[in-house]
Chains A and B, each alone.
Chain A
Amino acid sequence: MDTHAAYKSRWLPWVLLLPSFVILILFLYYPTIETFVLSLYQVAFLGLSKSFVGIENYKILFTDPEYLQIFKNTVVFAFFVVVFSMAVGLALSVLANQKVSGWRIYRLLLIWPYALSPAVVIFLFMFNPQSGIVNYLLTITLGIAPDWLTNPTLAMGLLVFVAVWKNVGYNVVFYIAGLQNLPGEVLEAALIDGATPWQRFWRVTFPLLSPMTFFLLIINTIYAFFEAFPFVDLLTKGGPSNATNILIFNIYRDGFEYYKTGMAAAQSVILFIAVVFLTILQFRVGEGRVHYGG
């Protein structure tokens, strides 16, 4: 049978695809290519003048201890954000999936943070070392008042906490959906065979949820790398002394505050390659372990 049978002309499909191509080229491919090109230039004033420097920008990035510190921070941040937001998301969805009275309200409340704007200034007030509610409560209960943002470890911890808090709702939505679609007979069979709740979860539920987990792993990785900018900008500005400076924040800073467009482009390319590499790796490793049922 003629594969073109559905169309009267050979060109029609291309014409129909044209709007998508125009948008893709204009807003996706062109900026990507331009970023690659810019990363080889030393650019001043957002592009008013530029000169070709080859891989100089990359050389600086991989030899400057400050940038190496930023790469390290990014890895630490992304790792903890992905692990915690998925683990907490899963745990909360299992709890919210129970048929207890008021379950609708619990689910709504769990999803809530996701719907909020990422401009979470409230944390700045809550964790203010002098006048914040957190230290007020800690002082009257434990007699301690940590300097949340001046201690590098605590500052990173707080940043991870906020990023997790913001994204848990998203994971809960997907995990609850996944839990609701589990085949009831498998769990029933396990129950009849005398499996404990613990065994039922780890041997039956968790493996059955693996496609969802796999999907969320990729989405959360992208989230941790690309969407953490507002938290850093609002809470720490990368401080204390670069301890919470992560790639996406530094790209903004180099690009729009310091006018080092070439350096910013080079970092974007590195971030791009890192995330593409991670995603491919996840597909390679994940594919074999994910159980799609059926």
Chain B
Amino acid sequence: MKRLATVVGLSALLGFAFAAEKVQITFWHAFGGGRTAFIQRAVEDFNYTHPGIEVKVEYKGSYRDTLNAAILAAKQGNAPHIVQIFEVGSQLALDSGIFVPIENYVPADLKFQLDDYIKPVANYYRIGGKFNSIPWNSSNPILYYNKDIFKKAGLDPENPPKTFNEVAQACEKIIASKAAPKCITWPLHSWFVEQWIAEQGALLANNENGRAARATNVYIDSEAMKRIMKWWKGLYDKGYYTYTGKPEDWDGANQLFVSQQAAMEITSTSDVTFMQNASFENGFELGTGFLPVPDGVERNGTVVGGASLWLTKGHPQEEQEAALTFLLWFTNTENMVRWHKGTGYFPVLNTSVKVLEWQNWFERNPAYRAAFDQLLQSKANRATQGALIGPFPEIRTIIENMVQEIFQGKDIAKALSEADAQADQALKRYNASVKK
């Protein structure tokens, strides 16, 4: 008995000693479902090829849950090394002060990877000229449409609407011909509004979208916003636009489109793979096109949405280095190609795009093409760079409430000015709370 205990004790000690040789890294992300397994496999590959490092990956719920969990863990001095944070949380993450500006720590021989990011992505995540985090999953909105319904309505199935008016005209035909009960859907989400503002070259906040200095004024009461709301309200009143009634209901909008209740859907490019499978299962032909923009306005392009990976403060140097090694490996050319094929998220490196082109990937998979071309054709300016606003999550709700009020019949000008005042108030309170 005694001997057994000694053996157990010794082997436990050995186990510790062995484990201590490996640097343990924790990585928290917000991807459930099939993507969890996808990430897990990549991490296993890394652990296998890097015997000195062991990365432990954990799914922490939604973007917000993940950020909350990271802040709380940091407060208790127990932060994970790597955290995935959604794009509109960037300012918040900066203000929280629990992360390190990553670019300062990238070793010189790997700096080339930071210069490899495609321009729109670099534009979004370079804050004050520096990467504070490593861009990972990136997407923007495109138009998905049902080619069979288009044919039934007498529309050209190879020529989806490109402007607001063209959408309205196509809808008129689709509804009049009874090709589908509703014409178009997208989640009632502020993200689309933000994209349409950027497409018009307009800003969402002062100080150059909060990029030149901290934003102190949110621009909701603007001409650009008025254009969007007028069009959206018109589609809603005529029964062309439909949504489930619940704000931010991504799945609900997909359900409406996939079940062929609506002929078109505007949603994220990260759903390309899902849409292809779903259209096949439901027996219709899928088309994709650029995000429709207001008429008579030059197309500026879209803002990169998605998330990036942040490194937390306060770890021993060897752990920080190991975490960085993993981060740069995880987002390298090969892994970005894999990630794109598996999900539809953009291959965010120029070299991974080259690999995909060399493989004729976009020719063989045309649905991915629109998504990618739209991103590459975006102009690099303050509008398409996207706004940095601390209380962005709250401002999104304010915009979504405003849209619903407009649907209920509130005067657009009045709704806009009220929402503008509310957003400014929220921003003022936030800014006051971060000034220490």
Contacts and interface: CB of A to CB of B under 8 A. Distances in A.
A43 B407 CA distance: 35
Given A48-B97, A49-B436, A241 B404 contact: yes
A239 B256 contact: no
Given A42-B433, A46-B75, A131-B256, A155 B404 contact: no
Contact of B242 (A130, A236, A240, A242): A130
Nearest to A256: B68
B367 interface: no
A131 B261 CA distance: 7
A54 interface: no
Interface of B: 64, 68, 71-72, 74-75, 92, 95-98, 181-182, 188, 242-248, 252, 255-256, 259, 261-262, 391, 393-394, 397, 400-402, 404-405, 407-408, 422, 426, 429-430, 432-434, 436
23 contacts: A42-B429, A44-B95, A44-B433, A45-B96, A47-B75, A48-B71, A48-B97, A124-B246, A128-B244, A129-B244, A129-B245, A130-B181, A130-B256, A148-B245, A149-B244, A150-B245, A150-B408, A236-B246, A239-B400, A241-B404, A242-B401, A256-B68, A258-B394
Interface string A237-276: 1111110000000000100111110000000000000000
A48 B75 contact: yes
Interface string A134-156: 00000000000001111010010
Interface in A9-48: 42-48
B98 A239 contact: no
B414 to A, nearest CB: 13
Contact of A237 (B96, B248, B259, B433): B248
A172 interface: no
Contacts of B404: 150, 239-241
A45 B92 CA distance: 8
Contacts of B68: 46, 256
Given A48-B96, A49-B433, A155-B245, A128 B71 contact: no
The 9 A-B pairs at the shortest CB distance, nearest first, are namely A149-B245, A240-B404, A241-B404, A241-B401, A44-B433, A258-B394, A130-B261, A150-B245, A241-B405
Contacts of B243: 150
Which of B71, B256, B401 counts the most chain A CB atoms within 10 A?
Answer: B401
- Identify the interface centre among A130, A149, A236, A242: most chain B CB within 10 Å of its CB: A130
Contact of B393 (A43, A45, A258): A258
Contacts of B401: 239-242
Given A46-B75, A258-B391, 18 more contacts: A44-B95, A45-B95, A48-B71, A48-B97, A149-B244, A149-B246, A150-B245, A236-B245, A237-B246, A238-B247, A241-B401, A241-B402, A241-B404, A241-B408, A257-B393, A257-B394, A258-B394, A259-B92
Given A147-B245, A149-B244, A48 B393 contact: no
A227 interface: no
A147 B98 CA distance: 45
Interface in A136-187: 147-150, 152, 155
Interface of A: 42-49, 51, 66, 124, 128-131, 147-150, 152, 155, 235-242, 253, 256-260
A124 B75 contact: no
A31 B74 CA distance: 20
Contacts of B259: 131
A240 B430 CA distance: 25
Contacts of B429: 42, 260
Nearest to A56: B429
Contacts of B397: 253
A258 B397 CA distance: 10
Nearest to B245: A149
Contacts of A129: 242, 244-245
B247 A239 contact: yes
Contacts of B74: 48
Nearest to A245: B401
Nearest to B419: A241
Residue among B71, B246, B256, B436 facing the most chain A CB atoms (10 A cut-off): B246
Contact of B246 (A46, A130, A239): A239
A124 B244 contact: yes
Contacts of A236: 245-246
A162 to B, nearest CB: 13
Given A45-B96, A237-B247, A152 B182 contact: no
A155 B407 CA distance: 15
A48 B75 CA distance: 7
A212 B400 CA distance: 44
A253 B429 CA distance: 16
A130 B422 CA distance: 33
B394 to A, nearest CB: 4
A128 B258 CA distance: 14
A45 B245 CA distance: 31
Contacts of A235: 246
A124 B433 contact: no
A124 B248 CA distance: 13
A63 to B, nearest CB: 12
A102 B427 CA distance: 61
